[in-house]
């Protein structure tokens, strides 16, 4: 259990909870004031190393505390994912402790994976092998602060459930691996949350070889891209190929009567070898189309089987596999559920949010926890630099402010074919830019995709995503009650209405779909007002939105990074709430 026994059945005490993911990628911190999420920041945004992780993500701790105006002594609970930790945090015999101390003094201390340590010792409780007192002292937390551990897939699942008001749902998680499993299936019904598969009973078992997330990653590697980073390239490339290898790959995977995915591979290495063998000499687009087809077929079969066995009307998805927006659309539409929601931090960054929510659920009980839920408004959870962005841009000798209203000037520049970036308020959490650090452009000319990608040094195959005002969304896209909530966070594709496809080619995929973001003015007035002004100027209710970053670079965070991007010609202008800035000419 995550919550100490002396905390159960007591009156709720409001707590400051710091949740950390210490995995080898996606290092992240999230900070809660009881059920209120105050801040969440990925390590990559601070170190500028894409996907950065491994060990304790120290900079993120200071960042989320700084955002909230708190210090380490204010923390009541630290929730840790069962990932990687420096060796000296594990209980060990005398000889091992001496060896670890020597390595630490020489700066050569190794990270040890928590699950591997539990398996080696035959123990399932992380608290029993972790030196919490040393951890708290090392990082400046109070000695009476509690240290708790979250379950990887339960944390994913809870992140997709807490930000809904559902009374029944299938919560389905999938990723490369977490806590020794690749999937979890949970049913919320009749006030009970039941785990069908993927809980701690698998922690000490022999790890199954069944991960479609890994298979997709191996296909990514086979095409020369980086696993855990470039899978999105295959999703886009798949639209241009034929699934000629789908039968050969998919034949290794089967879905049983309980909805569990199995494979006939005896190891991950064997899976990788077979995918590399099949991909060798094949057209890259065909490889991408094949692994996409396998992913869609098997996950849909799994979800369909579970829903047949446990009929519910809502679907919550989380985990890195569900960064695949084409898959999400298929599941939403093919299962005909009433609503599908994908937690916006679908990668391992999301388990920091879910980890704190797991602590709260086990502290308060499921009934109270369900009663504390709320719909997610935004994921603007990083630091707000509005007090510094204008002085940074205006203070550079090579930058000038453009006279006029920022909204009207921006709409005019966009209508004349310029591409700019909006820098407003708090940075987004998760992999999507959602109007705080977004590049915006007109969707009229599909050539903007190539020209912008060239400027950003990207090699992308999918068109850019569009953003649309809430009142216009159904006119342009196939928005329904089932996908509307997910579309606010750009985690699902939808069909583009026939009458709009030729009008906005820059955001329409080969199959006639797009990945829209529905925007409400109350959540981001500047972002919404620019679109409204552009619509008044052009008659188009859509603008391009792509993340404000160059190739292999995390999304822009600080004003200084924003300035460099402007000076390096990544965009033509920057829009803030106060002004529009561009490079001086002549």
Under 8 Å between Cβ of 189 and 155: no
pLDDT band at residue 108 under the 50/70/90 scheme:
confident
Number of Cα atoms under 13 Å in the Cβ half of residue 504: 35
| pLDDT (tens digit per residue) in 429-485 | 999 999 999 999 999 988 888 899 899 988 777 779 999 999 999 999 999 999 999
pTM: 0.95
Dist. CA 289–CA 37, nearest whole Å: 38
pLDDT band at residue 141 under the 50/70/90 scheme:
very high
Strand partners, 40: 30
Rounded average pLDDT over 238-266? 97
Under 8 Å between Cβ of 451 and 510: no
Tell me, what's the pLDDT at 2? 44
Which is more confidently placed, 448 or 263?
Answer: 263
Which SS3 state, helix, strand or coil, does residue 301 take?
helix
Number of Cα atoms under 13 Å in the Cβ half of residue 167: 2
Under 8 Å between Cβ of 110 and 103: yes
Tell me, what's the pLDDT at 12? 53
Determine what percent of the chain is predicted with pLDDT higher than 90: 90
Dist. CA 169–CA 315, nearest whole Å: 5
Tell me, what's the pLDDT at 585? 86
| pLDDT (tens digit per residue) in 359-404 | 999 999 999 999 999 999 999 999 999 999 999 999 999 999 999 9
Q: Residue 405: which residues within 8 A CB-CB, separation 6 or more?
A: none
Helix 152-162 and helix 350-364, axial crossing angle in degrees, nearest 10: 80
Which is more confidently placed, 16 or 458?
Answer: 16
Domains and CATH numbers, the chain: 5-151 (3.30.420.40), 164-342 (3.30.420.40), 381-583 (3.90.870.20)
| pLDDT (tens digit per residue) in 19-55 | 999 999 999 999 999 999 999 999 999 999 999 999 9
- Which ranges in 24-173 belong to alpha helices (H)? 43-47, 58-68, 94-105, 114-121, 132-138, 152-162
**173, pLDDT greater than 70:** yes
Query: Residues 558, 563, 564, CA angle at the centre, nearest 5°?
Result: 100
From the list 118, 124, 174, 138, the residue with the least C-alpha distance to 55 is 138
pLDDT band at residue 14 under the 50/70/90 scheme:
confident
456-460, long-range: CB < 8 A, 24+ apart: 456/549, 456/550, 456/551, 456/570, 457/550, 457/551, 458/550, 458/551, 459/233, 459/551, 460/233, 460/236
**160, pLDDT greater than 80:** yes
Dist. CA 177–CA 196, nearest whole Å: 18
From the list 264, 142, 168, the residue with the least C-alpha distance to 208 is 264
Q: 427 is written with which tokens?
A: 């940075």
């Amino acid at each position: 259990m995550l919550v100490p026994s002396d905390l159960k059945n007591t009156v709720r005490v409001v707590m400051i909870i710091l949740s950390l993911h210490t995995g080898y990628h996606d290092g992240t911190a999230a900070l809660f004031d009881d059920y209120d999420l105050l801040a969440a920041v990925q390590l990559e945004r601070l170190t500028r190393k894409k996907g950065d992780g491994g060990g304790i993500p120290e900079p993120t701790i200071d960042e989320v505390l700084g955002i909230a105006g708190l210090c380490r002594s204010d923390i009541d609970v630290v929730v840790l994912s069962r990932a990687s930790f420096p060796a000296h945090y594990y209980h060990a015999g005398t000889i091992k402790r001496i060896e670890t101390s020597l390595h630490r003094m020489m700066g050569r201390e190794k990270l040890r994976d928590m699950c591997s340590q539990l398996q080696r010792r035959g123990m399932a409780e992380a608290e029993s092998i972790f030196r919490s007192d040393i951890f708290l002292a090392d990082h400046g937390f109070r000695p009476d602060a509690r240290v708790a551990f979250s379950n990887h897939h339960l944390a994913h699942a809870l992140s997709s459930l807490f930000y809904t008001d559902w009374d029944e749902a299938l919560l389905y998680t999938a990723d490369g691996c977490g806590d020794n499993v690749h999937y979890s299936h949970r049913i919320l019904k009749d006030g009970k949350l039941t785990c069908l598969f993927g809980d701690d009973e698998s922690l000490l078992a022999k790890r199954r070889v069944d991960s479609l997330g890994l298979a997709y990653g191996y296909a990514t590697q086979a095409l020369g891209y980086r696993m855990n980073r470039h899978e999105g390239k295959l999703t886009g490339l798949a639209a241009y190929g034929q699934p000629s290898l789908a039968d050969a790959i998919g034949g290794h995977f089967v879905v049983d009567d309980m909805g569990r995915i199995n494979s006939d591979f005896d190891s991950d290495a064997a899976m990788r070898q077979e995918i590399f063998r099949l991909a060798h000499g094949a057209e890259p687009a065909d490889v991408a189309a094949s692994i996409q087809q396998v992913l869609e077929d098997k996950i849909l079969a799994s979800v369909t089987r579970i829903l047949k066995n446990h009929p519910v009307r809502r679907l919550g998805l989380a985990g890195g596999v569900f960064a695949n927006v084409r898959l999400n659309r298929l599941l939403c539409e093919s299962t005909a559920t009433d609503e599908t929601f994908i937690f916006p931090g679908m990668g391992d960054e999301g388990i920091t949010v879910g980890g704190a929510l797991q602590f709260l659920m086990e502290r308060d009980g499921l009934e109270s926890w369900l009663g504390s839920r709320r719909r997610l408004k935004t994921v603007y959870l990083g630091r707000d630099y509005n007090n510094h962005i204008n002085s940074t841009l205006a203070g550079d000798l090579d930058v000038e402010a453009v006279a006029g209203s920022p909204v009207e000037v921006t709409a005019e520049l966009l209508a004349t074919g310029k591409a700019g970036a909006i820098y407003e308020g708090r940075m987004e959490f998760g992999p999507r830019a959602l109007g705080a650090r977004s590049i915006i452009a007109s969707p009229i000319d599909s050539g903007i995709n190539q020209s912008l990608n060239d400027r950003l040094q990207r090699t992308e195959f999918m068109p850019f995503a569009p953003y649309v005002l809430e009142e216009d969304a159904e006119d342009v896209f196939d928005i329904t009650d089932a996908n509307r909530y997910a579309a606010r966070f750009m985690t699902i594709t939808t069909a583009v209405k026939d009458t709009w496809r030729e009008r906005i080619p820059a955001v329409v995929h080969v199959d006639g779909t797009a990945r829209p973001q529905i925007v409400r003015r109350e959540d981001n007035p500047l972002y919404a007002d620019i679109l409204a002004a552009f619509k008044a100027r052009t008659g188009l209710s859509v603008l391009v939105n792509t993340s404000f970053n160059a190739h292999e670079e995390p999304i822009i965070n600080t004003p200084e990074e924003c300035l460099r991007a402007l000076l390096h010609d990544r965009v033509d202008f920057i829009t803030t709430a106060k002004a529009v800035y561009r490079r001086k000419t002549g």
